[in-house]
């Protein structure tokens, strides 16, 4: 664990963004591809890769960690061209449970977070 805390900009599906925006979401379940650490700041950006009025493509599906990154990089480039109407949300990591134990899939992590003012 380093003494330097990093800032991670993360794409966040609309349902999860809204829950965090309302203040009722205190955790982030993510692919652990960034070596997250306690004290890091997560900047959550609204990200909707699906066409309007379509079901959430992630509902009930847990992809392999490497598939997550590949799938959304292309969609991200397309969305970045659009005007973003949602302010990023800032959260600080207070605890991390790494995958591969306690029922969490390897390659993922569950982070407890608190709002950053």
Distance CA 82, CA 109 (A): 30
By percentage, how much of the chain surpasses pLDDT 90?
A: 56
| Domains of the chain and any CATH numbers | 7-115 (2.30.130.30)
pLDDT computed for residue 54 by the predictor: 55
Report the DSSP beta bridge partners of residue 31.
Answer: 108
**Contact yes or no for 85/14 (Cβ under 8 A):** no
Q: For the range 2-6, what are the long-range contacts, defined as Cβ-Cβ under 8 Å and sequence gap of 24 or more?
A: 2/37, 5/37, 5/39, 5/40, 5/41, 6/37, 6/40, 6/41
How many other C-beta atoms can be found within 10 angstroms of the C-beta atom of residue 96?
Answer: 17
pLDDT computed for residue 77 by the predictor: 54
59-99 per-position pLDDT tens digit: 555 666 666 666 655 555 555 544 356 899 999 999 999 99
């Amino acid at each position: 664990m380093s003494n330097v805390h990093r800032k991670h900009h993360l794409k966040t599906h609309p349902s999860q963004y809204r829950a965090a925006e309302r203040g009722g979401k205190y955790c982030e379940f993510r692919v652990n591809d960034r070596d997250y650490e306690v004290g890091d700041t997560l900047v959550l950006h609204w990200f909707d890769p699906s066409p309007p009025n379509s079901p959430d493509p992630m509902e009930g599906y847990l992809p392999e960690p490497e598939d997550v990154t590949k799938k959304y990089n292309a969609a991200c480039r397309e969305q970045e061209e659009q005007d973003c109407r949602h302010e990023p949300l800032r959260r600080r990591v207070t605890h991390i449970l790494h995958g591969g134990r306690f029922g969490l899939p390897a390659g993922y992590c569950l982070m407890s977070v608190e709002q950053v003012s």
